[in-house]
Amino acid sequence: MYCLLKPNQYSAWMTYTDVTTDGWNRLIANPRVLPSKDAAPLLIWGRMCDTVEIDPESNRPRCIGDNVDKLYALQIDVDGGYPIEWFERDYSKYSYQLYTSYSHTFKEGGDRYRVIFPLAEPLYVRHLVRPVKDILHDFAPMVDMTCYDKGHWQIIPCIRAKDAPYEYRQHDGKRLSFKGDNFAKIAEEYSEVAEARRSFAEADRDPSANHGGALEYVQRIFDDAKEGERNRTMYAKLMWLRDGVGCTATEVLALRPPAGSEDEYTKMVQRLF
């Protein structure tokens, strides 16, 4: 199948490469011997977006996460603390390809290996918001969260010398699926919350540029105001909306006052505006 290829760790561009089943079987069983892993090609089992940002020097798609559209496999890097035999025991029901990394046995901490889980349905990179990453991390908590970043590249099977320690596993089972988790809905809801927070922050930085954001920000504070602090909160925020934002009396009267302060709020607006 076609997957994304990054020629080496420092490449600014990427391209497609055709990795056949036979070709992959030969590679995982006979890893390349390389003097440095910096020279090793890297793969993402996925596809690019229809429209991509181009690297000006190579005139090829830039090697950035925003140029990746979807993944056909979940790729994780286990860097010690979770032996291969534990992995085989705990993930025996899934299909996976496992091979030890370039630094396997050359660093302390135990087995170091890479795993590729073929997915039952594509995972769209645009859905990789924090709550979705948390779900993925629940599935494989032994790895660093960066494994779930968009644009997570994985070095091909390679070793530093012909006699360097190396192991691999090719295990048949069911394909990994997150269909029931509805990542699209999670990502949509997360984006809505993030946009609201961005709006509040923008209004606080430059309130005159966004009356709507400033009013939403104040409404949130009013809704959370505690008894005993409501008058002080109303006064401070009304002064900010008047002098810092430039809101009108009509705009602030449309806000919902803190609970139990309706009359006081109307009088305060009439006095200040």
Dihedral, CA atoms, 154, 155, 158, 160, nearest 10 degrees?
-130
**Distance in angstroms (rounded) separating the CA atoms of residues 268 and 271:** 5
State which amino acid sits at residue 194.
A
Domain residue ranges of the chain, discontinuous segments joined by +: 2-181, 187-272
The SS3 assignment for 1 reads coil
The answer to whether the beta carbons of residues 67 and 52 sit under 8 Å apart is yes
Mind listing the pLDDT tens digit for each residue in 166-180? 999 999 999 999 998
Mind listing the pLDDT tens digit for each residue in 12-64? 999 999 999 999 999 999 999 998 989 999 999 999 999 999 999 999 999 99
Q: Where are the alpha helices (DSSP H) in 30-168?
A: 84-90, 130-139
Least confident range of 62-71, 142-151, 170-179, 188-197: 188-197
Mind listing the pLDDT tens digit for each residue in 100-124? 999 888 777 789 999 999 999 999 9
Q: Which of 34, 43, 35 is nearest to 16 (CA)?
A: 43
> Which distant-in-sequence residues (6+ apart) come within 8 Å of 81 by Cβ?
109, 110, 142
* pLDDT at site 205: 61
Half-sphere exposure (Cβ direction) of 3: Cα atoms closer than 13 Å: 26
